[in-house]
Structure 1
Amino acid sequence: MKKRKRNGMWIAIITVLLLLLGVVIFICIPFSPTAARFSHITGEKAKDTQDVSEVFTQADIERLPAPVQRYFEYCGYLGTPKMAYMRASLTNVDFVMSETKTIRIDYKQMNLVRKPERFALISSYLSGVPFEGLDSYENGRGGMKGTLAKVIPLFDQRGEEMDRACLVTWLAECLMVPNAALQNFVCWESMDDKQAKATITWEGVSASGIFTFSEAGELLAFRTSNRTAIDMSGKETKADWSAYFREYHIVNGLLQPKVIQSVWHYEAGDCVYFNQNEAAVDIHYQ
């Protein structure tokens, strides 16, 4: 009887150790369900996207406010092929999760043109354990999911505020993939020689913001009050949000921003929550 109990105890211990070993191996191997999901979605979107055979012309930008026209001209887009989507990536980027927690992340995204759709993958570690996030905006619905150890759900934010936040983020980045700025669901308004307002309407939801440009034509910033800060627990905080674009350099004959940052303008002060360390962004068109 005692021998059977000891054997049963050792079997239980070995089983637990094997399970722990399996968990460690699963965490350590490169495969990730979240990353696989991102690759599948963006791969299917790329496959379903029709190639654009047109080039940017002066006629395309005539209806745009003067500073936006100047941006197209200054960055060298006129006469170059229009794009169907953009892929962008950053490595080892500062990301502020809370007042006391900043992590380094790798970031990949895909923005489509013909419809305002956007997908982004965050890859990082929390206390040595893999942490991943998947942001999505598709068919007028936005979402933000976080996963720990590849399979443990941390949060899954959805709803009207998230729909509008994701829509206005696509708008903020539309001049990074400038064919998006020409779509008929984006409406432009003149303000002055350095600012222009844009409003996007999709699936019954509207959002708007102000683009600011340099005298030369560089896009410097986008600011909106149509995005709500939502933390991991789902707490919502009203604050203006900005995207900054800096350090323009030539890539394949086009001027592109080398540094992009995201900022919350809280009452207590500004928080550069994305890319405070000014990691370089890599932008590709198709």
Structure 2
Amino acid sequence: MSKIQKKRETIKSIFHREIEEDMKKYTINIDKPEFFKENDIIQLPPPVQRYFKHCGYIGKEKMANAQIKYESAYLKMSKKQKWINIQCRQYNSVHEPTRIIYMKSKILGIFRFEGRDKYHNGIGNMLVRLLKRFTVVDALGKEMDASALVTVLAEVFLVPSYALQPYVKWQSIDDNSARATLTFNETKVSAMFHFNSIGEMTKIDTDDRYFTEKDGTYANVKWSALMSDYIEKEGIKFPSEFKGVWHFNDGDFEYFKGKIAQLKFNISSHEIFK
């Protein structure tokens, strides 16, 4: 595909194309599926083991990928702005740390914008277009790589096969917390995971994410993701509500909140958000 063709390609088409390209890299053996076993988690920190057991993953099929649909999602561009309702669709895969997300909404209820945020092929990128034609954000660089990769790490327990991959290393902290470090394509990030007494993961904290300033520069700011409202579907429990929070020196900034409507594992190419 030429550069001109790529520029003409819609954000939604880019999203679907990148997922299809990723799915060509691996196969899902539907005839011989692999299942989570006790031995798979025995070396993990105690609260991580508790999560697998409490949420019902032992004996369930391991996931190579995941498709996530949000029932509702809201975004804030700054502390003073109002919440914007966005449509949000997401794909993750495990063979390499991969997360590709599509968003669309309207500014002031009139001006349509679309975005694609990803960590894919070892690179982070945020692409945003206004009115389908005007590129207003196309962020790349080592800060984007780290920010996108640590967001993959934040979703380890939404797609639990991540926790067993060789690119993720675990460190026991105490009975209700553990630290994970994810290293890929020369980028290394880490986060602290917090659990409650029954085994639910409730929060992660990291110092490896970057906030984009108005002038396009990056600031290293502590970031948290909060998970709540665990629901059970097809025998497994998972958090359905998420919040993203920046911790600035002058106070916290909650900029994202969303509720998951569907979490589906091991999808095939013809099932991609049809």
1:192 counterpart residue number? 174
Whichever residue aligns with residue 51 of structure 1, its letter is I
Deviation at 1:279, TM superposition (A): 3.2
Q: Measure the CA separation in 1 of the matches of 2:234 and 2:246.
A: 32
| Whole-angstrom CA distance in 1 between matches of 2:214 and 2:79 | 12
TM-fit CA distance, 1:255: 0.5
1:70 aligns with 2:55: no
Counterpart in the other structure of 1:19: none
Aligned residue among 99, 102, 113 for 1:121: 102
Query: Which stretch shifts more, 57-66 or 46-55?
Result: 46-55
**SS at 2:181's partner residue?**
strand
- Distance of 2:161 and 2:172 partners within structure 1: 19
Question: Percent of aligned positions with the same letter in both sequences?
Answer: 35
Partner residue, 1:79: 59
Shift of 1:270: 1.4
Of residues 28, 44, 63 in structure 1, which corresponds to 2:21? 44
The residue number in structure 1 matching 2:242 is 260
Moved more, 35-44 or 162-171: 35-44
- Retained in 1: the 8 A contact 2:72–2:260? no
Please, what is the CA RMSD of the aligned residues? Answer: 1.7
Give me the whole-angstrom Cα distance separating, in 2, the residues matched to 1:209 and 1:71. Answer: 17
Which has the larger displacement, 87-96 or 247-256?
87-96
- Give the paired residue count: 254
Residue 112 (structure 1) aligned to one of 88, 93, 111: 93
- 1:201/1:207 contact within 8 Å kept: yes
Q: Could you tell me how far 1:47 is from its partner in structure 2? A: 4.5
The CA deviation at 1:103 is 1.3
1:99 shift after superposition: 2.7
Give yes or no for the alignment of 1:282 onto 2:262: yes
- Could you state the TM-score of these two structures normalised by the residue count of structure 2? 0.88
Q: Distance in 2 between matches of 1:60 and 1:231?
A: 42
Question: CA shift at 1:204, angstroms?
Answer: 1.1
Higher RCO (Cα < 8 Å, 6 or more apart) = 2
| Equivalent residue number for residue 34 of structure 1 | 11
Measured at CA, do residues 285 and 232 of structure 1 come closer, stay the same or move farther in structure 2, by a change above 3 Å? Answer: farther
Q: CA deviation at 1:280?
A: 3.7
Q: Out of 53, 77, 80, which is 1:97 matched to?
A: 77
Unaligned runs of 5+ in 2: 1-8, 267-274
Code of the residue aligned with 1:119 in structure 2: it is I
Deviation at 1:34, TM superposition (A): 0.6
TM-score of the superposed pair, with normalisation by structure 1? 0.85
Once the two structures are TM-superposed, the CA of residue 100 in structure 1 deviates from its matched residue by 2.9
Q: Which residue of 1 aligns with 2:5?
A: none
Moved over 4 A (4+): none
State the match for 2:115 in structure 1: 133
Rg (Cα) greater in structure: 1
Contact persistence 1:154–1:232 (CA under 8 A): no
- Corresponding residue number in structure 1 for 2:272: none
Deviations 1:207-242 (A, max 9, x none): 001000011100101110000111464132332111
The answer for the alignment partner of 1:181 in structure 2 is 163
